[in-house]
Amino acid sequence: MNSEIRMIAPFENESEVVKVDGLTVENRTDRVSIYGSVDLTLDRAGLLAARALKANVDAIVDSMEQRKDLPERIQLAPGKTVDNPFGSESN
C-alpha cells in the first residue's frame, strides 16, 4: 500500500489530476472537479483514502479562503464541441 498522499495545487493550473481510488480530483484555474466513487472502508486502506481526500479538500478550501476577491458566483464557460477525429464520414 502506497502511503504517499498526492495533492493538487488548487486553481493553479489546468493539468493536475489526482486519483483517490475511484474518485478523481481534476484541477482547473476556475474550478476543481471531483467525480467518481470511493469506498472509505474501515481499515488502513480506507484511512489512507480518507486522508488523501481530506488533504485535497482542505487545500481547496484554504486556497479559496485566502482569496480576498472571491466573487459570489462565477460564470463557467460553456464546453467546446469538437469533431470526433476517429469518426467516419457517411456516404
CA distance 91 to 81: 23
Average confidence (pLDDT) over 47-57: 97
Average confidence (pLDDT) over 49-67: 97
CA distance 46 to 90: 50
Span 70-79, pLDDT tens digits: 999 999 877 6
Average confidence (pLDDT) over 31-46: 97
Span 14-33, pLDDT tens digits: 999 999 999 999 999 999 99
Give Cα 81 distance to the centre of its chain. Answer: 22
**Residue 91 pLDDT > 70:** no
